[in-house]
């Protein structure tokens, strides 16, 4: 009995040691709320924390990450969408609970739905054709996200059967959906790369899955019509072999969920982030990561270094789609998406990114549109579309944050070397070295 009790106490101690400790502090920083997380180190723990914060649409203005042996410490400076500290007690409690359990929330309850994944070559009107096929096959689109990058498209669509109102169970109908959409994605000259799949509902986080789909589709490789030149300077990878690290620097225009996109890509490429600093100056973001492979080795070849640069640049660009943001809010009805996207196509608009959702009986959809060549849309074309769809339900919002391909200035490089207090402290302790 005594031995059993000792084991029980030991298990409780191990549980307490491995349970993340979360502290949320509004007193230390005058402009942001500090979220501190101490936890046992495991692969993906940083991504889980960042995912919790970004799924709440919080902005991470600064971050300090350090791993000491088996322990991990994260400090995030966060604000709400308006740039204010967090004051809502329910939000604070939710963050504490989610981070303490290392369980990132799903963006939406997707139980009872069918998940459909699509990848292929992007072209004008493709999304219109996809939605038209699903409408003809009596499928109701409950939620969907569509990304395009480098001439490729990836989409994750959640469906239900219009008759049953639940997940599609008929295997013959599933086969028909996959076959019809595969033909649409193939078009006339893309037989090799078009992929459609109905997947298990145990699907990972939607946006992480989109990153994985585009990575598997090799969207980071430049399209045949584009030049495969040297990196534009927004991402660099340096070697620190004497301490066994590779050092990744990211410099680009700041935008929502930027840190999530970068950390997600490094994690899914099987790299472990041991130390990192993140800072924003105005509209510019500066990020530095000290990484190794999961087996403990650094990047060990020039080819691998170039691949990391390409993949990280792709992860930055995917969400930063160019175009005018159009928001549609209307009563949901069968064929609504097919009608709206067909109207876009008939007026020469191309969809670079889309977020589709339903709330009760309402459809709430966001589209980023360009012209057929990917250039800014003529205002007359936008007004013609709004007139056909309805001025009251289709509104023009601000243009999205567009990724800046301009090489960093000397001032940016100087700021990069100075931006982080933690980096200086780590340097003084001999844990890292300076690459300024």
pLDDT tens-digit map of 364-380: 999 999 998 889 999 99
Domains of the chain, each with CATH number or no CATH: 2-100 (3.30.70.260), 114-204+321-397 (3.30.70.260), 235-320+406-428 (3.30.70.260)
Q: Contact at 8 Å (CB) between 196 and 178?
A: yes
- Burial of residue 68, with CB atoms counted within 10 A of its CB: 0-12 exposed, 13-18 middle, 19 or more buried: exposed
Per-residue burial over 238-273, b if 16 or more Cβ lie within 10 Å, else e, is: eeeeeeebbbbbbbbbbbbbbbbbbbbbbbbbebbb
Angle ∠(407,50,428) on CA atoms, nearest 5? 65
The whole-number pLDDT of residue 15 equals 46
| Cβ-Cβ contacts under 8 Å for 199 (sequence gap 6 or more) | 115, 116, 117
Per-residue pLDDT tens digits for 25-48: 999 999 999 999 998 888 888 999
The whole-number pLDDT of residue 410 equals 41
The whole-number pLDDT of residue 17 equals 55
The whole-number pLDDT of residue 235 equals 95
Residue pointed to by tokens 């243009």: 399
d(CA 417, CA 436): 5
The whole-number pLDDT of residue 39 equals 86
Q: What is the mean pLDDT of each run of 10 residues along the chain (436 residues)?
A: 52 56 94 93 89 95 88 93 94 93 58 91 94 96 95 94 90 94 82 79 83 95 49 78 92 94 96 95 94 93 96 92 90 94 95 93 94 90 95 82 40 40 48 46
Mean model confidence pLDDT for the chain: 84
The whole-number pLDDT of residue 223 equals 54
């Amino acid at each position: 009995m005594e031995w059993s009790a000792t084991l029980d106490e030991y298990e409780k101690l191990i549980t307490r040691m491995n349970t993340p400790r979360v502290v949320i502090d509004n007193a230390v920083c005058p402009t942001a709320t500090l979220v501190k997380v101490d936890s046992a180190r495991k692969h993906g723990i940083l991504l889980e924390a960042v995912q919790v914060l970004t799924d709440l649409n919080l902005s991470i203005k600064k971050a300090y990450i350090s791993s000491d042996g088996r322990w991990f410490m994260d400090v995030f400076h966060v604000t709400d969408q308006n740039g204010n500290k967090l004051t809502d007690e329910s939000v604070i409690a939710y963050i504490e609970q989610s981070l303490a359990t290392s369980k990132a929330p799903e963006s939406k309850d997707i139980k009872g739905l069918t998940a459909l994944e699509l990848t292929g070559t992007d072209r004008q009107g493709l999304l219109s054709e996809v939605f038209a096929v699903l409408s003809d096959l009596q499928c109701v689109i409950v939620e969907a996200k569509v990304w395009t990058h480098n001439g490729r498209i990836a989409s994750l669509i959640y469906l239900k059967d219009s008759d049953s109102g639940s997940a599609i169970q008929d295997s013959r109908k599933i086969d028909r959906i996959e076959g019809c959409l595969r033909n649409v994605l193939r078009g006339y000259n893309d037989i090799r790369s078009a992929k459609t799949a109905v997947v298990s509902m145990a699907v990972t986080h939607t946006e992480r899955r989109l990153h994985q789909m585009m990575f598997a589709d090799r969207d980071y490789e430049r399209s045949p019509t584009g030049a495969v030149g040297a990196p534009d300077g927004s991402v660099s990878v340096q070697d620190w072999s004497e301490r066994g690290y590779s050092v990744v620097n990211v410099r680009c225009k700041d935008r929502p969920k930027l840190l999530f996109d970068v950390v997600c890509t490094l994690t899914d490429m099987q790299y472990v982030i041991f130390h990192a600093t993140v800072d924003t100056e105005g509209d510019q973001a500066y990020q530095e990561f000290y990484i190794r492979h999961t087996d403990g080795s650094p990047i060990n070849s020039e080819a691998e270094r170039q691949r990391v640069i390409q993949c990280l640049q792709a992860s930055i660009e995917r969400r930063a789609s160019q175009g005018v943001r159009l928001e549609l809010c209307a009563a949901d009805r069968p064929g609504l998406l097919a009608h709206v996207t067909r109207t876009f196509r008939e007026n020469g608009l191309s969809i670079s990114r889309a977020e589709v959702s339903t709330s009760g009986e309402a459809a709430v959809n966001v589209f980023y549109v360009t012209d057929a060549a990917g250039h800014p849309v003529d205002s007359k074309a936008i007004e013609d579309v709004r007139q056909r769809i309805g001025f009251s339900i289709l509104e023009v919002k601000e243009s999205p944050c567009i990724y800046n391909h301009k090489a960093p200035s000397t001032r940016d490089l100087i700021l990069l070397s100075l931006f982080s207090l933690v980096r200086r402290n780590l340097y003084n302790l001999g844990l890292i070295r300076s690459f300024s």
